[in-house]
Every structure is written in C-alpha cells, then in structure tokens.
Amino acid sequence: MSEPVTKEAGPPPNEITEEKTTEEAPRKREYKEFEGEKHEATHAKVDMNTIELKAEDLYDKEKVDLERVELGDVFKLLQSSEEGLTSEQATERLGIFGPNKLESEEQNAFLQFLSFMWNPLSWVMEAAALVAIALSNGEGRAPDWPDFVGIVLLLLVNSAIGFYEERNAGNAVKALMDSLAPKARVKRDGNWQEIESSELVPGDMVAFKIGDIVPADCRLTEAINVSIDQAALTGESLPQSKKTADQCFSGSTCKQGEAEGMVISTGPNTFFGRAASLVGADDDSTGHLQMILAQIGSFCLVVIGIFVLLEICVLYGRFHYSYRRGLDNILVLLIGGIPIAMPTVLSVTLAVGAQQLAKYKAIVTRITAIEELAGVTILCSDKTGTLTTNKLTIDKSLVRTYGPFSAEDVILLSAYASRTENQDAIDGCVVGTLDDPKKARAGIKLLDFKPFDPTTKRTEITYREEASGKLKRVTKGMTGRIIELCTRNKTHEIEDQLERDVEEYANRGLRTLAVAYEEVEGDNPEADGNGFELIGLLTIFDPPRSDTKETIDNALALGVKVKMVTGDQLAIAKETGRRLGLGDHMYPAKVLKEGPPPGGKHMTLEEMILDADGFAGVFPEHKYEIVKTLQGLGHLCAMTGDGANDAPALSKANVGIAVEGATDAARGAADIVLTEPGLSTIVHAIRQSRIIFQRMRNYSIYACAVTIRIVVCFAILAFAYEFEFPPFMVLIIALLNDGTIMTLSVDRVLPSNTPDSWDLAEIFAYAIAYGLYLTVSTIVLLIVILKTNFFEDKFGVRLDTAYGAPKDPNDFQIHMIIYLQVAIISQALIFVTRSHGFFFMEMPSYALLGAFCVAQLISSIIAAYANWTFTKIRAISGGWIGIVWVWNIIWFLPLDGVKFAMKATIIKYLRQRHEQKVAQQVKAQGVPMTRTTSRVGSIHESMYGNRVNFIKRAARSVGFGGKKVSMSQNELKRFASIQAAHTGQTLARHASRPQ
C-alpha cells in the first residue's frame, strides 16, 4: 500500500448543522445500481373465498400466476398453511402428483440390438439370406448354406458394433434425476423431520440452509439473509438474494443464510423437471448421418432394383432360365450391390475418431455427433461457466479513485473489509483479487468486524495499523449506502462523478462496490472516527476464460459463427460480447416471443436470430427454440453449456458440448464432454471431426462406385454371355473389401478450412464414373479371353478348355479370373477416391496400405489354390494371376484422369448450379431456407436410425421400459407459474381438507 496519508478532521457536527440550515436542501441522489428485472406482487384475479376454481381460470395466467401472486393467495390455492401438511394429506397428494423425481424410459437391450437390423439396406440383405436358405430349394439342390451364413455374419457384426457404441452413451434424463437432492427437511404433522426428497408434495413446508440443495420449486415464507446460486438452472452468474415470498428452484444451491418455504411443484412439474422433459423430446427425430445414409442407401437400392428387374425380365423371359439358376444371378446383385457394411465402416471410423478426440480431452458420448461437428456452421454458447469463468472478479482496470489512494490501495482496503473465512461471493472475489490472499490481514490487527447485513448493505472493519499504531476503519458496500455515510471531503463534484461512474457501469452490466475510509482517534475501537471519506469504486464481473477469445477467433477462421445464448442480463451479455470480440448486437429473450420490433432491419424472427450476436435473459425453452430455428434455416448447430438449464438445448442441437466442470445433467445431455477447462478443445475437435468426415466421404464414394461396378458389370455379362458368377465369391469380395476399408478410420487426410457438407450429387457423379470405368475393364478382359487367344499366345498360359476350342463363359477357371480381377481393382479404387490430386501424391496410412496388401495376397492365394466346386471356381496358374495383376495396373493408372475430367466438367457444373441456387434463394428470401422434409421422407430416413417407433411400441406392449416424461413445449412458461397453477387445479378436484 502507498505511504499513510494524514487526514484532516472533519468539521464538528454543530457546524455541519448550521451550514445545512443556511443552504437549500440538496437533492436526493439515486445511484443506478445494476440489477435484474423485478416484479410487483399481484393478487389472483379470482374469488379466493372458494377453492373450487374452473380449469380455464387456473390455466389463465392473467388470473392466476403463482410465481407473482401474494403469498396468502398461494396458501389458499394449494390448501396449505405454515404448519405444513399432515401425513394423510401428504400420502393422498403423493398419489395425485406422483413422487418428486423424474421418470426415465428403460430400453430393452435385446430389442435395441435387433433395431440395428431394421433399415432398408439390412432388409435387402435379410431378403437375400431368405432367398439363399428358403427359396433356393428345388431342382435337386440343397439350400445355399455358404451364402446364408456369410450374409448373417455380416449382419451380426454390423449390429454388434452399433449396439456396443450406443449402449455406452449416457442417459440425459437419468443424469438429471440423479442431480435432485436426495434428502429434504419437511414439516409434517406439525413437526420438522427429514425425508426422502422424492416424497415431497405440493403444499409441503420445507426448510434449507447454507450448502443445501433446494429439493423442489417453492415460495419462501421466511428468509434470513438468503443467497441462492441458480447459475446451473438460469445461467445467472451471481448468487441471487432471496426474501420472503420469492421463488426458489429445485436443484439450486443455498449459498448463504437459511429459509423456509412452501412447495408449489415437484418432479416433472418443476423448472428442473421441465428442462428434463425437453431433453430427448425429439429422440425419434432423424439424425443427420441417418439422413445421409438414407439417401446413399436409396441410390444403391434404386440401382440394384432396376437391374434386378431387368435380369428377371431378360433371364427368365428371353433366356428361359430355370427358377434356381436365375436366383443365383439375382443373389450376385443383391449381395455385391448392397453396401451392407456401410453403417459398420462408418461406426468404426467414428469410434476410432472418438478415441482420437479423447487425446484432446474430449469424451464423445454419441459417435455420430463427430460427423455433424464437421459440418457445424453456428456455435451457440452459454456464457456463465462456458465463455466466462463463473467466478466473480474485480476488474482492476476499471477501479475509480476519489481520494489520495491509488487503485491498488483501494483494493487492499476493501480486502481488509472482507471476511477471510466463511466468505460470501463478494468477499471471496475481493480477497481473491490480491496477489496473495494473506495480505487481507497482513500488517493489521483486527479489532472489530461487521459482516454484510442485508439491512445496511455493507461490511465494516476497524483495525490497528501495526506500522503506525493508528486505529482505522474501512467500509465497503452498496454505493448509495456508502456515500450517505461519508461526511469528509464530500463535494458536489465527487458526488456527480460517482453518480456518472455508477450509471456508466450499470449500463455495461457491471455491479459496483463503493469503499470509504476513516481514522479513529485514541484506542477505543468503538469510538467515532473523523468521518468517512469516499476513496474508490470497484466493479465486479464474471471474466471471460483466458483462452475464450482465441478460441472464438479460431472458430471464426474455420467458418463457424459464434452466438452467445445466456440466461444473464442483457447488459452483462453485451459487455462480455465486447470483451470477447463477439459484438454487442444482442437481444432480450422477449423478442423470441414478440418478434422483431416494427421498423427494424429484420423482417422476420428467423432473420433476427440468424443475424444476432446473441440473446440474453433466456430460459431453457428459449435456448431450445433458438437452436431449433437455426436448424430450420439449414444450419448444423452446436451448443456449449455447463448447467442443467443448458440440457434441453444441448440435447436438441446437432452437437451438444458440455464444458469442463459441467453438471451431470449437462454432461448427460451432451454429445461431447470436455474434461479440461476452456473451449480450445472445441477447435481441436472441429479440425479432427473434419478429418473424420473426409474419411467417411472417401468411403461413401468408394462404396457407391463398387455398387455400380458390381451390379452393372455382372448384369451386362449375364445379358451378353449368360455369365453366371457364383454368389459366394461376391461375398468373399465383400468381406475382404470391408476388412480393408475399416483401416480408413486411421487414414491420413487433410481437414477442410470450411464446414463440411454432404454433396451427394458429387458423390453419386464420381461413383457412376468410377463404377462404369471399372465395369468396362472387366468386360473387356472377358471379351479378350473368350474371343481371342492373346494371353495363351503371348504368355503361354492355358485353361482347362482345349486350346483353340470354343470357350465357355461359365468355365470355373474363367470365374476365378474374373473374381481376382474384380477383387483387386475394386479395392485399389480407394487410393483414388481418398486423394484430391494424383493418388501417389497423398501417402495413405500404413494400416490401409498393409490391409490392402494382405487382402490381395489372400485373393491371390484363393486364385492359386481354391478348387471349390460348391461355388463353381477352380484354381488358376501363376501366369494367369500375373496377367490379372498387370491388367489391373494398366487400367488403374488412368483412374486419376477420370477424376480430373469429372472435376473439370460435371463436378464444376454441379457446384456452379448449387451456388446459383443459393444466391437466388438469398436474394428472394433474405435468409437461405431449406426444403421441409416430407412425411414420407422423414419415415424413410428414420428407418436408418438405431431406435424406431415400432420397436419402442413393441417394447412397451410387452412390458419393457418405464413411463416416459413427456411435456408439451407450448405449455412451458417462465419459471413455474403454469405448473403451480396445475397443482392448484388438481387440488381443487381432489380436496385434501373439508370445504
């Protein structure tokens, strides 16, 4: 602290009186302290002499609003008193309202496993299995057991991986339920007792003190210096002082004092419970990856369906195939054309990606969220505890001084006037501003300390300065109260300046503390001093995390816009936005209901939400609707948060991210949980998700191309040469391909600098080009073998057919040659689809390269040694194997030329057309809108989800699962007024005492 300053004694009291009598009475100054909204108590606009109210009256908020009505009216509506309920009344009400806990739906594990086999791709494979085992009987031949076993194996592997991943995901509603206070102190039969919080009912009298969790929504009937931390529920950064008749929320924490209150709502009807009802409200909705799978699956199914119909018409109609012979050809198309392993490959890719994200301290609870994170265009972030530290701090740069003390001295003196133990939030932040908290008592001897009193609104310390031996006194507190105490060096100029400073800070959402100082003559610590003098003004705020600004800048560089969505006050939100560079173009939550103001620049609410930098004063349903609106505008939306109030929006968002230190409720609802402080992990997660996205896109092009390649190739061969390729060998090709492609999950790729999106037109265009090119390579090879003796003459190879004799297209060795050619070049295609330039310029991972080599070694060994008459193949010589390899290399090299030609022509055209369409849409509507999915489309996409409606209904019908919490979103109102009114209505029908 600076050198001690000698102070002049103030004028004697009688002189002050004389001066005041000769002057005009000064105006009473009002200091505009920052504070939230306040509401005056009202009366229920109904006749309170009767309890039997009509339902329409109780649901009419204009008549009954238990959040704001007089406390006496609340007692009458809920038929209770300060003596609480009797045990009989409590038992009756427990039967009416249910327990004070949240119910969750348990899903049967077996039905959940079966649900992974319920999608169109799986249906086709299941149909193929039925064809192989049931419809293949006849003509003296046994069922096709090898194909049946192989198909079932593929289905089981796919389902097992998906089932394992989903069973590891958390249950958000269960996490919310576990967050409820387990015990409660309640007044029953006139006596205070401790019971399970789940046994509380509306009308109960409860008591809680510092450190307790509020067990249910209640109105306070007695409050002694009560401060409630409800940041996890409403997002307000500061603990809220509560007085008699105020409302407290279930799940909030008592930080100071003790209180008694009457329960007005319990369980799912509480503010906390309403948040839980929004979590998972759309659990039947279609995920983004399911939508993509649906469209890719539709593409493959349409291609297969067309050629299956053509084969039926041609093979049975023109060639008059027998029943069993035609089925084998159709099985080739079904088994080879369906990318049955696509969900499995993508699941493994995402699962490996989740493990990689864990290295960056990000735990993934829903693996499909990784794909959606790659395409996120808007990040909606909660403020308290997410962008900020949720820890009150004195802003040293904004300390104002009004006397000879420096800013550091003012902070030190205010720390003197603070508790060092059992601190409240304000004392804690003041002492925490010091470099060393021990300085708050260093160099002084405490003589007297007056803690914060809600009546005086200040603290005060009297101490002896050890260096000088003088007695001194410091007080800090509410500005208006402190300036009233000051008598020394108090001028109009200082008062005017203080008034301006307080108003400036209030407009910026900063709370203020005034600090005053006086010296005491003599050794009596209770003696009057020489008069308090105003020495400084402190500003209190919740500071941004140290890395938040950099994280936001990095997100913007990646093409992700950040919006603040907070339950705190508008002024605080704007100040935080300015400090972080987010901007202060923010709106209060009421605009979400009322719409944009007339004459503003926004014509619609959607435009306002899209353009805003953030929203303040929001509640769970507001956050939920903001996310929902942004999704409706075609954006993939991520939401970060840390409290139970964020859980509904975290659940609704495409990607919900719970930051470090989040509540169990937020972690349960989130898709990604961060385990270290700050948001920098999100930037790593976005980059990593885009790497994973590129891997999935590469595989999707490959899978669609192989579908075209198999279906078109073998259909044309059947039409031209009555070629009958064995279905079992197609199954071998599929198994080897899928095993190799699994290594794509660790392949080397570069992330994009803009949000990724699935441009399926591009994917299908590439797939058709590659598939047709590879089809030509196989057809030309077969023609050369059948129509010429080129290979026999040049390389001295032979088939079982005599040299010069007509060759049978269905010769078992020709089947083997075609198998090897298709297996090698089809799998080699992945090296082209995974690269943006020449395939040899982008080094694949060693895992992918090694898997390819192993798979082709197996294929070559099969070609050399497999004499499997049951599947119509016979081993070929090493010469033929070498010929096939050379043939494939020759045809493989021009594939990059096909890719570049596509980019320069068709892909360029598709991108230009898309850009023109978006530009026209923006010009016409101002906001790019997405087409509303038809009901049929929604049903089709939902079939690719892991949980489907009919499975759930079946589970409930046979007794699996519990009761699900379901609440109408339109009914959800601010705090709990409607819930409490519903309580009164139910009691009116089930009176618990004589009328």
Query: Quick check: 251 and 232 in contact, CB under 8 A?
Result: yes
Q: Is 584 an annotated catalytic residue?
A: no
Q: Among the options 57, 65, 144, 382, which is catalytic?
A: 382
Please, which residues have CB within 8 angstroms of residue 657's CB and are 6 or more apart in sequence? 638, 639, 640, 641, 650, 670, 671, 672, 673, 674, 682, 685
Other Cβ atoms closer than 10 A to 193: 12
Output the CA torsion 119→123→125→126 (10° steps): 130
Instruction: Looking at 402-527, list the stretches that DSSP marks H as alpha helix, in order from N- to C-terminal side.
Output: 407-416, 425-432, 479-485, 492-507
- Only one residue has tokens 């399911």, namely 290
Let me know the angle formed at the C-alpha of 327 by 326 and 330, rounded to the nearest 5 degrees.
90
Query: Quick check: 341 and 525 in contact, CB under 8 A?
Result: no
Nearest to 37 by CA among 570, 566, 458, 514: 570
Going 639 to 644 to 649 to 653, the CA torsion angle's sign is positive
- 653, with CB counted inside 10 A (0-12, 13-18, 19+), is buried
- Under DSSP, the state recorded for 134 is I
How would DSSP label each residue in 850-872? HHHHHHHHHHHHHHHH---GGGT
* H or E segment to which residue 183 belongs: strand 183-188
CA 249 to chain centre: 24
Per DSSP (E only), the strands in 357-465 are 362-364, 378-381, 393-394, 400-401, 444-450, 458-465
* H or E segment to which residue 587 belongs: strand 586-588
- Under DSSP, the state recorded for 879 is H
Query: Quick check: 673 and 662 in contact, CB under 8 A?
Result: yes
Output the CA torsion 868→872→878→880 (10° steps): -170
CA-to-CA distance for 374 and 636, rounded, in angstroms?
9
Q: Report the SS3 class of residue 568.
A: coil
How would DSSP label each residue in 483-515? HHHB-SS--HHHHHHHHHHHHHHHHTT-EEEEE
Q: Report the SS3 class of residue 42.
A: strand
809, two tokens: 């297209």
User: What is the biggest distance separating any 2 CA atoms in the chain, rounded to whole angstroms?
Assistant: 135
CA-to-CA distance for 675 and 670, rounded, in angstroms?
13
CA-to-CA distance for 766 and 788, rounded, in angstroms?
33
State how far the alpha carbon of 41 is from the alpha carbons of 227, 241, 482, 619, 809, in Å: 20, 17, 29, 21, 92
CA-to-CA distance for 294 and 339, rounded, in angstroms?
12
Distance in Å from the first CA to the final CA of the chain:
70
Q: How many helices (H) and strands (E) does the chain have?
A: 38, 22
Query: Quick check: 443 and 463 in contact, CB under 8 A?
Result: no
Q: Are strands 614-616 and 561-565 parallel, antiparallel or unpaired?
A: parallel
Residues in a beta bridge with 364: 672
Active site residues: 382
